[in-house]
Amino acid sequence: MQNNLLDRKRARDSYSIRSKNCSNLHIVSVFRSNKSLYAYVQEPKGKCLMSISTLSKTAPENIKGHSNIESATWLGNALGDKLKELNILRIAFNKSGYKFHGKIKTILESIKSRGIQC
């Protein structure tokens, strides 16, 4: 039953992003597991443009395979830098059904600190 509830929350979040005036924005979606954090960027039509995680080769050794606030900060900063390289300055943030606090909030704040508008 719990998976069904999370699936409904994810669908609701995705629908609200697509139904608002965000149809021409790139979408940053996040996923968290017990051991890692993942984020990926989708084009407005749904194709995955890039992804990054705490398991990436570019991640520092103290971050690899961890799911904490420090790794969320690194993930948001790295993603913000990659978005700037791709000239993407405005995004829509999909929290994928998770509550907006802790690691999820830290990722978004780190992206915003790099000059990306949400």
Which residues touch 73 (CB under 8 Å, ≥6 apart)? 106, 110
Of 101, 102, 100, 88, the C-alpha closest to 40 is: 88
pLDDT in tens, 75-90: 999 999 999 999 999 9
Q: Catalogue the E-assigned strands of 1-118.
A: 26-32, 37-42, 48-53, 91-94
Least confident residue range of 15-19, 64-68, 73-77: 15-19
Q: What pLDDT sits at residue 20?
A: 65
Q: What pLDDT sits at residue 13?
A: 65
d(CA 90, CA 25): 7
Q: What pLDDT sits at residue 16?
A: 62
Whether the predicted pLDDT of 111 surpasses 80? yes
Whether the predicted pLDDT of 65 surpasses 60? yes
Give all domains of the chain, ordered by start, each with its CATH number: 2-113 (3.30.420.100)
Q: What pLDDT sits at residue 14?
A: 66
Least confident residue range of 17-26, 48-57, 71-80: 17-26
Whether the predicted pLDDT of 44 surpasses 90? no
Whether the predicted pLDDT of 22 surpasses 80? no
> What is the value of pTM for the model shown?
0.85
